[in-house]
């Protein structure tokens, strides 16, 4: 019965190879999903090409996962500290509505470029500020992140609706400043480049800086980290502020791409982000994980969604399949011992 | 002790700040100097309902002797029931209810009516007609039919015959209005064998969801004649996706709701984004008209049902409607 007894006798080489396989397990998952997508994909009308593999569709996927990807990167840092941020969906709605509001309802005589800059900069400041506030409350008041950000999720949704009086703020189709903004920010290359640049920078920050190391060590052992002289409060503050900033970026992209700031958007985005992070191999208990893993997680979800939708599969089936994928992905990443116990 | 004091001070500050944010929810004086009208709204947080609230506020503010109050049930049946029970205690001269769902709200509305309060049921009907004084509504099925007839005409113009491919962008499934907008249109279009549904996607009434879903539909379906968004934001989301792919000129986008204002569907017809939209009337004009008669004229007996007709908005009348 005890499978782990057998593990002892496995030759060292095999052990090593399973170790490598385990390290890239989420990557293996991605390859499997890609394989599935190619098989299930309908053919392109007229040319007979595999629709999934057409450059247009692949770049569609890239663009569609960008918002979730950017949010999930911030979420990775937070989960690595063994925290969570439930408020990202509300925060995204807040950033998008504030951005649209500044563009359409404020008329500062500062010229178009500066006005657009403000419409991007101020929402980012606001979301970063809320993130920093979470970090401060969590570490100073010693309240669980779940509770602080749950309050944020409820309160900020209310704030976004209060700002807009429940209505959508529309970014027009004419040639006014808001349309200029949308045309500037919404093209596919802009969205994808933003995602890629953020992913690279954040991957370096997590993997190669003292800050990244501190984030992981807090998640690994918070009390030990304090004894070791790691500035826990400051690190948590920066971590949540960073996630706030990234969510703000996703919010501005969201407003531009959808030509509107809707206070009702972003509902359950936090769950998509968390799902991507855990599929990518980051442990919910913190300490272990990577940005590359999260990005793989984001693409696994994105490709799966795309595959189902190209086939026109019922949305309810899509949701059920996603649930299975999440559980299987996380189960695969369990250490062998824990898995066999289950 | 110190912590307790801090909490106390924070709570004090919160309550002191309340009046600053409390605009529009002023305390209603209990003295009967004029008329009290209470509107029980099922969910403020929807653009259509926000427009309905704004319209009501503007209309009632024209009457100096009317105090108008809105209660938001936040899409929750139990909350709406308890709010209506509180309203009964307040004994208003008129109670207007936009019920969240037909079943659960029926009894409590009947309770209000039995307490002698005239009850206007807005839009959605409730189970038992005995439970309201009058029902002011607009029929989503007729709106769907209008949209269907329009789409048939447009296909005749576009393809020379009533044939073509339609994409439905749908709201939350299971919502009665959603079903009716769908059935109304397809009951008309199904009578022509050349008109087929190419694809449909559930987009939860959201522009952002519709944009994403439509991108995939466009990739998988090269020939689409008309996109029928069951509300305007979804039709606009479909347009945004098509514009990204450079296909917006080949497809007609049709929406429903036709709200006023910059974010509304009428402006989208003016901008050339939508080919047409069909108004889902706010029903507020009629409610204020009938409500006033009920309150002020003791001899007036309202009809059991008033239907407010939808209007078709196309480029030929959009500018006039937008400015008017």
On whether residue B124 sits in a domain, the answer given is yes
Residue A7, pLDDT > 50, answer no
Tell me the CATH number at A289: 1.10.3470
CB-CB neighbors (< 8 A) of B201 in chain A: 309, 315
Question: Does one domain contain both B158 and B127?
Answer: no
Give me the half-sphere count of Cα atoms (radius 13 Å) on the Cβ side of residue A111: 2
Asked if A170 and B271 come within 8 Å (Cβ–Cβ), the reply is: no
Cβ-based neighbours of A79, under 8 Å, separated by 6 or more: A219, A274, A277, A278, A282, A283, A284, A286, A289
Cβ-based neighbours of A64, under 8 Å, separated by 6 or more: A302, A305, A306, B212, B215
Give the number of domains in chain B: 2
Asked if B267 and A170 come within 8 Å (Cβ–Cβ), the reply is: yes
CA-nearest residue of chain B to A163? B21
On whether residue B7 sits in a domain, the answer given is no
Asked if A264 and B45 come within 8 Å (Cβ–Cβ), the reply is: yes
Highest mean pLDDT among A158-167, B2-11, B309-318: B309-318
* pLDDT the model gives residue B1: 52
Judge residue B316's burial from the number of C-beta atoms within 10 Å of its C-beta, 0-12 exposed, 13-18 middle, 19 or more buried: exposed
On whether residue A171 sits in a domain, the answer given is yes
CA-nearest residue of chain A to B22? A162
DSSP helix/strand/coil, A35: helix
Question: Does one domain contain both B133 and B158?
Answer: no
Structure confidence by residue, pLDDT tens digits, A257-315: 999 999 989 998 999 999 999 999 998 899 999 999 999 999 999 999 999 888 888 87
> Model ipTM?
0.78
Q: Which two tokens stand for residue A20?
A: 């490598």
Question: Does one domain contain both B128 and B173?
Answer: no
User: Å from B155 to nearest chain A CA?
Assistant: 22
On whether residue A324 sits in a domain, the answer given is yes
The more confident residue out of B47 and B38 is B38
On whether residue A45 sits in a domain, the answer given is no
On whether residue B235 sits in a domain, the answer given is yes
As a whole number, the mean pLDDT across chain A is: 88
On whether residue A71 sits in a domain, the answer given is yes
On whether residue A147 sits in a domain, the answer given is yes
Question: Does one domain contain both B179 and B227?
Answer: yes
* pLDDT the model gives residue B30: 44
Residue A231, pLDDT > 70, answer yes
Question: Does one domain contain both B148 and B275?
Answer: yes
Which of A256, A263, A222 minimizes the C-alpha distance to A239?
A222
Write the residue in A45, A167, A258 that is nearest to B222 by C-beta: A45
C-alpha–C-alpha distance, residues B81 and A219, integer Å: 46
On whether residue B20 sits in a domain, the answer given is no
The residues of B whose Cβ lies within 8 A of any Cβ of A are 21, 44-47, 49-51, 53-54, 199, 201-202, 206-208, 211-213, 215-217, 219-223, 233, 236-237, 240, 244-245, 261-263, 267-268, 271-273
CA-nearest residue of chain A to B210? A258
Residue A44 pLDDT grade (very low, low, confident, very high; cuts 50, 70, 90): confident
pTM: 0.82
On whether residue A7 sits in a domain, the answer given is no
Q: Which residues span the domain enclosing A89?
A: 61-332
Structure confidence by residue, pLDDT tens digits, B176-224: 889 999 999 999 999 999 999 999 999 988 999 999 999 999 999 999 9
C-alpha–C-alpha distance, residues B46 and B171, integer Å: 13
Average pLDDT on B162-169 reads: 96
On whether residue B251 sits in a domain, the answer given is yes
As a whole number, the mean pLDDT across chain B is: 89
Question: Does one domain contain both B146 and B181?
Answer: yes
| Interface with A, mutate which of B18, B41, B47 (most A CBs under 10 A) | B47
On whether residue B8 sits in a domain, the answer given is no
Question: Does one domain contain both B275 and B149?
Answer: yes
**Would you give the DSSP letter of residue A83?**
-
Give the number of domains in chain A: 1
Question: Does one domain contain both B168 and B259?
Answer: yes
Q: Which residues span the domain enclosing B292?
A: 35-138+282-308
* pLDDT the model gives residue A154: 96
Average pLDDT on B269-279 reads: 96
Do A326 and A278 contact (CB within 8 A), yes or no?
yes
Do A273 and A88 contact (CB within 8 A), yes or no?
yes
Asked if B208 and A312 come within 8 Å (Cβ–Cβ), the reply is: no
CB-CB neighbors (< 8 A) of A310 in chain B: 216, 219-220
* pLDDT the model gives residue A3: 42
C-alpha–C-alpha distance, residues B195 and B162, integer Å: 7
C-alpha–C-alpha distance, residues B238 and A185, integer Å: 19
C-alpha–C-alpha distance, residues B304 and A332, integer Å: 63
Residue B116, pLDDT > 70, answer yes
On whether residue B147 sits in a domain, the answer given is yes
CA-nearest residue of chain B to A308? B216
Tell me the CATH number at B188: 3.40.50.2300
Residue A19, pLDDT > 70, answer no
On whether residue B237 sits in a domain, the answer given is yes
Total length of chain A: 342
* pLDDT the model gives residue A120: 96
On whether residue A14 sits in a domain, the answer given is no
C-alpha separations of B17 from B4, B69, B264, B305 in Å:
20, 21, 33, 44
Q: Which two tokens stand for residue B206?
A: 């959201």
Write the residue in B219, B237, B240 that is nearest to A51 by C-beta: B219
CB-CB neighbors (< 8 A) of B271 in chain A: 172-174
Question: Does one domain contain both B156 and B273?
Answer: yes
User: Å from A222 to nearest chain B CA?
Assistant: 25
Question: Does one domain contain both B252 and B275?
Answer: yes
Question: Does one domain contain both B154 and B252?
Answer: yes
* pLDDT the model gives residue B255: 97
C-alpha–C-alpha distance, residues A105 and A248, integer Å: 20
Residue A29 pLDDT grade (very low, low, confident, very high; cuts 50, 70, 90): confident
* pLDDT the model gives residue A339: 59
Residue B23, pLDDT > 60, answer no
The residues of A whose Cβ lies within 8 A of any Cβ of B are 42, 45-46, 51, 54, 56-57, 60, 64, 104, 161-162, 165-170, 172-174, 188, 254, 257-260, 262-265, 306, 309-310, 312, 315
* pLDDT the model gives residue A338: 58
Question: Does one domain contain both B156 and B269?
Answer: yes
Asked if A258 and B240 come within 8 Å (Cβ–Cβ), the reply is: yes
CB-CB neighbors (< 8 A) of B212 in chain A: 64
Pairing relation of β-strands B94-97 and B119-122?
parallel
């Amino acid at each position: 019965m005890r499978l782990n007894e057998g593990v002892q006798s496995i030759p060292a080489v095999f052990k090593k190879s399973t170790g490598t396989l385990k390290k890239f397990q989420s990557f293996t998952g991605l390859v499997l999903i890609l394989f599935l997508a190619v098989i299930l994909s309908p053919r392109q009308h007229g040319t007979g090409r595999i629709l999934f593999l057409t450059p247009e569709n692949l770049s569609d996927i890239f663009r569609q996962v960008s918002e979730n990807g950017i949010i999930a990167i911030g979420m990775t840092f937070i989960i690595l500290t063994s925290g969570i941020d439930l408020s990202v969906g509300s925060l995204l709605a807040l950033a998008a509505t504030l951005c649209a509001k500044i563009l359409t309802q404020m008329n500062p005589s500062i010229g178009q470029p500066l006005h657009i800059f403000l419409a991007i900069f101020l929402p980012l400041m606001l979301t970063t500020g809320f993130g920093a506030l979470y970090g401060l409350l969590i570490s100073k008041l010693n309240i669980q992140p779940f509770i602080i950000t749950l309050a944020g999720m409820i309160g900020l949704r209310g704030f976004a609706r209060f700002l807009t009086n429940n209505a959508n703020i529309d970014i027009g189709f004419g040639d006014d400043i808001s349309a200029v903004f949308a045309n500037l920010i919404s093209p596919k290359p802009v969205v994808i480049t933003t995602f890629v640049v953020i992913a690279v920078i954040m991957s370096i920050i997590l993997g190669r800086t003292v800050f990244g190391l501190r984030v992981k060590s807090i998640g690994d052992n918070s009390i030990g980290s304090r004894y070791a002289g790691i500035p826990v409060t400051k690190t948590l503050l920066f971590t949540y502020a960073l996630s706030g900033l990234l969510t703000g970026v996703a919010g501005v992209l969201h407003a531009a791409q959808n030509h509107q700031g809707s206070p009702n958007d972003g509902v359950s985005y936090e769950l998509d982000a968390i799902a991507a992070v855990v599929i990518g191999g980051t442990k919910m208990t913190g300490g272990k994980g990577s940005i590359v893993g999260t990005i793989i997680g984001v693409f696994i979800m994105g490709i799966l969604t795309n595959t189902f939708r190209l086939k026109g599969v019922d949305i309810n089936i899509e949701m059920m399949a996603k649930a299975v994928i999440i559980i299987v992905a996380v189960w695969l990443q369990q250490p062998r011992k824990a898995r066999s116990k289950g | 002790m110190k912590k307790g004091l801090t909490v106390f001070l924070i709570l004090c500050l919160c309550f002191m700040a309340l009046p600053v944010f409390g605009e529009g929810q002023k305390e209603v004086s209990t003295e009967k100097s004029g008329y009290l009208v209470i509107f029980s709204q099922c969910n403020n947080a929807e653009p259509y309902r926000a427009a309905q609230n704004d319209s009501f506020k503007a209309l009632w503010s024209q009457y100096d002797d009317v105090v108008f109050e809105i209660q938001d049930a936040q899409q929750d049946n139990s909350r709406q029931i308890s709010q209506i029970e509180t309203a009964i205690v307040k004994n208003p001269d008129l109670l207007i209810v936009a019920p969240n769902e037909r079943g659960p709200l029926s009894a409590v509305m009947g309770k209000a009516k039995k307490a002698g309060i005239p009850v206007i049921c807005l839009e959605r009907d409730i189970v038992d007609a005995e439970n309201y004084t009058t029902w002011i509504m607009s029929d989503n099925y007729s709106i769907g039919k209008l949209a269907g007839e329009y789409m048939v005409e447009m296909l005749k113009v576009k393809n020379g015959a009533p044939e073509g491919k339609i994409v439905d962008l749908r709201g939350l499934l299971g919502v009665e209005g959603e079903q009716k907008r769908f059935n109304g249109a397809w009951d008309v279009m199904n009578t022509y064998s050349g008109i087929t549904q190419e694809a449909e996607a559930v987009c939860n009434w959201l522009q952002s969801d519709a944009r994403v879903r439509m991108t995939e539909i466009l990739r998988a379906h090269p020939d689409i004649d008309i996109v029928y968004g069951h509300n305007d934001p979804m039709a606009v989301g479909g347009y945004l996706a098509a514009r990204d792919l450079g296909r917006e000129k080949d497809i007609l986008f049709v929406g429903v709701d036709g709200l006023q204002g910059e974010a509304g569907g009428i402006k989208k017809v003016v901008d050339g984004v939508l080919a047409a939209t069909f108004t889902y009337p706010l029903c507020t004009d009629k409610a204020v008209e009938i409500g006033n008669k009920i309150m002020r004229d003791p001899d007036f007996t309202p009809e059991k049902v008033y239907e407010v007709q939808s209007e078709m908005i196309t480029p030929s009348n959009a500018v006039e409607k937008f400015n008017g």
